[in-house]
Amino acid sequence: MNEAVYAVVGIPFLSAILLALIPSYRVTALGNVLASGLTFVAGLSFLTLPPVTETYVILDDLNKFFIILNTLVGFTTSLFSRSYIGHEIETGHLTPLFVRFYHAMFQGMMGAMNLALLANNIGLMWVGLEFATLMTVIMVGIYRTPAALEAAWKYFILGIVGISLAFFGTILVYLTGQGVLGEGEAAMTWSELIKIAPQLDAPLLNIAFIFLLVGYGTKVGLAPLHAWLPDAHAEGPTPISAVLSGLLLNVALFALLRFKMLIAANPNALAPGPILITMGLVSLIFAAFMLYQRQDIKRLFAYSSIEHMGLITFAFGLGGPLLNFAALLHMVMHSLTKSAIFFAVGHVTQAKGTQELSAIRGLSVSNPLLSVALAAGVIAISGLPPFGAFMSEFLILTSTFAREPLLALAVAFGLLVALGALLMRLQDILFGEPTTPNHPVSAASAPIFVHLSLILIAGMFLPPAVVVWFKRAAEMLG
């Protein structure tokens, strides 16, 4: 097997061990950037690799797409994190003791997510997601305030409940495979299970999928399983908010999609599409209305993540090559855009010394560069041209209208409600009398504008090679 496949998992885990042994924050911050950069280079090399199928590792067009996105956002977040956490230490909001293992945990989290994406063994995939969850739980509570500890505890409890249900669902899938493939690794190997999917016991497979849907759906943040997500975003450090919205939600949805492919290949099993459509639509509309009530800027964009994950889940539920293509494209646009927004929000909250929306005004006067970055991000995530999310949402809406006009109207309604909320909030943030204080920040703006440039280019032109790649991945999903 190509060394790059091992590198995207091995580099983060080895770096985590090394960074945990280094006491200096500045050294570990640089080490975190270096490790993330090397992992991204290894992930980018997947573009030239042929498919790989082994007992514990699989590489196909679907997870290749997720790995490259994961390593890219991980790298840019490490750059932002170096500036953000450094500022928090300088201002006394964090102490070197509190961030002693921060960068080691960041690398551990990235390695665990990459492991889950590459795992051909459904048990190993579960382990990867569980480890990534534990790392993020610790980092959410890093400020050690009562609110941060409460958010971390809520995330831990709900995450453990979700992952336990997913674990039980995984066991049930193993039992269905065992009846055909016999005992041992084969009955937990996804590539083997998909081959014999029509022969699996349908009633047991149905029960397994319900457990998996609730378990992994909790990680995706789908309503009504979303209760941990706004608190985790609001109380944790902003780089972790960027990773949660931009990456971890995607990895959980990827795991769910793997099992969706399995159950959809069994003609006697329940149809997963209607369930995903319902949960996606409920999440979209619920989160769109909740945007109007948020008083914390990070909670605002946390609910925006729930909205977009609902839209993506809806599109995958309706299925078909075009809607799957649009959903995959929207996952990329959401990950890049939402992480860029959180990068900007992190610097805004440091400049203003608060996350309260009522205390963030006149940003276009007090912080022009940050106001441009945040405005561009909000316009992009709202689905307005010329950014890439406009194209993906347009494809979802038009494809849905061609098949199910009433569902398309419901989706359009949710998107318009969310658009109104975000533009209303953006107007308040940008204009009016500038609020004080206005602390200077070391704004590492490169990651923000790299992401915004990519989504702008995607809104105007997608290279033919990328289109072909996305089409192949979309066809795999059925």
DSSP 323-336: HHHHHHHHHHHHHH
pLDDT band at 441 (very low <50, low <70, confident <90, very high): low
Mean pLDDT of the chain: 90
What pLDDT, in 10s, does the model give residues 303-340? 999 999 999 999 999 988 999 999 999 999 999 999 99
Confidence of residue 294 (pLDDT cuts 50, 70, 90): confident
Count structural domains, the chain. 1
Is 159 inside a domain boundary? no
Residue 323 lies in a domain: yes
Residue 418 domain-assigned (yes or no): yes
Q: What percent of the chain is modeled with pLDDT above 70? A: 98
Q: What residue numbers bound the domain in which 349 lies?
A: 271-478
Question: What's the Cα-to-Cα distance from 10 to each of 47, 108, 190, 374, 378, rounded to whole Å?
Answer: 19, 10, 22, 35, 36
Listing DSSP states for 24-38 in one string gives -HHHHHHHHHHHHHH
Q: What is this structure's pTM? A: 0.94
Task: Specify the amino acid at residue 275.
Answer: I
- Is residue 304 situated within a structural domain? yes
Between 25-44 and 61-90, two packed helices, what is the crossing angle to 10 degrees?
A: 160
Cα(first)–Cα(last) distance of the chain, in Å? 28
- pLDDT at position 440 is 62
Write down the pLDDT at residue 318: 93
Let me know if residue 359 belongs to a domain.
yes
313, 283 Cβ separation under 8 angstroms:
yes
363 in a domain, yes or no?
A: yes
What is the phi/psi pair of residue 94, to 5°?
-130, 155
The pLDDT value recorded for residue 98 is: 78
Examine residue 259 and state whether it is found in any structural domain, yes or no. Answer: no
31 occurs within a structural domain:
no
Q: pLDDT, tens digit, for every residue of 153-208? A: 988 888 888 888 999 999 999 999 888 888 888 889 999 999 998 998 999 999 99
